[in-house]
Amino acid sequence: MKVNNFGYLVKEGFRGIFSHGLPSFAAVCVTVACLLIVGSFSVLMYNVGIMVEELNKTNEILVYIDAELPDADARSVGTQINRIENVQNSVFVSREEALEAFVAEHQGDSAFSGVEATDLRHRYVVTLMDNTKMAETVVDIEEISGVANISAAYELAEGFSTIQSVVRIASIAVIVALLFVSLLIISNTVKMAMSDRKDEIGIMKMVGATNGFISFPYLVEGFVLGIFSAAVAFGLQWLLYDLLVARLAAVDTLQLFSFVPFTRLLTPMIITFTAAGLFVGIVGSLNSVRKFMDV
C-alpha cells in the first residue's frame, strides 16, 4: 500500500460503512449488546472488589497491652506497631475508653455491673494494608515489648480474600468467554457484509490490488464500527448503571450493597469499552477478510 492511497482507503472504509448500511447497523447492534454484557460484568467485578475491600478493612486486629506497663509506655507501643510494613494504622484505645464501649454494648446486663476500668487493658485497634499477610504481621507485632496478646480473625480475613479471588476469576472467565462470542458474531456479521462485496474484491484482485490494499478499508471499517459501538455501549452502560443504583438505593433491604457512582468507574470503564470495541471490531474484520484473500 502506497502513501498516495492512504486517504483514499480511509475514505473507502467510511464509504463501506454507509453503502452497506444494514450489515453495518447489525454489526453495531451486536457489538453494543455484547459490550453491554461485558461492561456489566466489569462493573460488577469492580464493585464487588470495592465492597470486599471495604469489608476487609473492618476486619481489624486487637493488640492488648501488658497490664503492668505504665500508661506512657503503653502509648508509645503504637509507634513501633506503625513501623511494621503491613500496618496501615493503629488507634490507641485506653482501658477507660474500652470500658465505656463495653458498658454501652452491655447496657442493662446486670452480670457486668461491677466491671472496673482496671479489669481491662489498654489496646490498639490495628488495620492492615493486606489482610492475606495477617499471620506474618501478627508474629511481628507479638515481638514488640509490652504486647500481651493479640486477637485476630484469620478465618474471616482468608474468607474475604477467597471471595474476592472467586469473584475476580469468575468475572474474568465470563468476560473472556463473552469477548470470544462477540468476536465470532462480529466475524460472521462482517463476513456476511463481505460476501456482498465478493465481486468488488474479485475486481480489485484482477486489476492487481495487494492484500493490504484490499483489507485496509475493512480494517478502517472495523475500527470505526468498534469505536462507535464502544461509545454507544458506554453511554448506555452509564445510563443503565445509574438507573440500577437509584433503584437499589430505594430498596431498604438492599442497603448492604453500596454501589460506587459511575463517575468513579470512568477510567477503567473507558479503557475496558475502548479496548473491547477495538478488539472486536478490528480482529473481527481481519478474521473475515482473510477468507477472501486467497489468490
Partner 1 sequence: MIEFSNVTKAYTNKDREVHALCGVDLVIEDGEFAFLVGHSGSGKSTIIKLITGELKPTEGSVHVNGYSLDRIRKREIPFLRRTIGVVYQDFRLIKNMTVYENVAFAMRVIGAREEEIAERVPYVLSLVGLEGKSDSKPDEISGGEQQRVAVARALVNNPSMIIADEPTGNLDQDLAVDIMSLLEEINNLGTTILVVTHAKDLVERFKKRVIVLDKGLVVSDGMEG
Which residues are near partner 1 by CB under 8 A? 1-2, 4-5, 8, 19, 199-200, 202-211, 213, 295
One DSSP character per residue, 70-83 reads: -HHHHHHHHHHHHH
Distance CA 86, CA 100 (A): 30
Distance CA 150, CA 157 (A): 15
Pick 124 or 216: Cβ nearer partner 1: 216
Distance CA 203, CA 207 (A): 6
Local structure of residue 149 (DSSP, 8 states) = E
The CA distances from residue 102 to 68, 147, 181, in Å, are: 21, 21, 57
| Contact status, residue 244 vs residue 283, Cβ threshold 8 Å | no
Closest CB 214 distance from partner 1, rounded Å: 9
Closest CB 211 distance from partner 1, rounded Å: 8
Pick 202 or 261: Cβ nearer partner 1: 202
Distance CA 87, CA 230 (A): 41
SS3 (DSSP) at 211: helix
Pick 19 or 165: Cβ nearer partner 1: 19
Pick 16 or 277: Cβ nearer partner 1: 16
Q: Which three cell numbers stand for residue 150?
A: 493479640
Closest CB 18 distance from partner 1, rounded Å: 11
- Of the candidates 175, 190, 203, 201, the one whose C-alpha atom is nearest the C-alpha of residue 287 is 190
Pick 148 or 204: Cβ nearer partner 1: 204
Closest CB 44 distance from partner 1, rounded Å: 45
Pick 1 or 55: Cβ nearer partner 1: 1
Closest CB 263 distance from partner 1, rounded Å: 45
| Contact status, residue 94 vs residue 122, Cβ threshold 8 Å | yes
Distance CA 85, CA 63 (A): 16
Closest CB 19 distance from partner 1, rounded Å: 6
Pick 95 or 197: Cβ nearer partner 1: 197
* Radius of gyration for the chain, computed over Cα atoms and rounded to the nearest angstrom: 30
Closest CB 282 distance from partner 1, rounded Å: 22
Pick 106 or 198: Cβ nearer partner 1: 198
Closest CB 195 distance from partner 1, rounded Å: 16
Residue 90 φ then ψ, to 5°: -135, 135
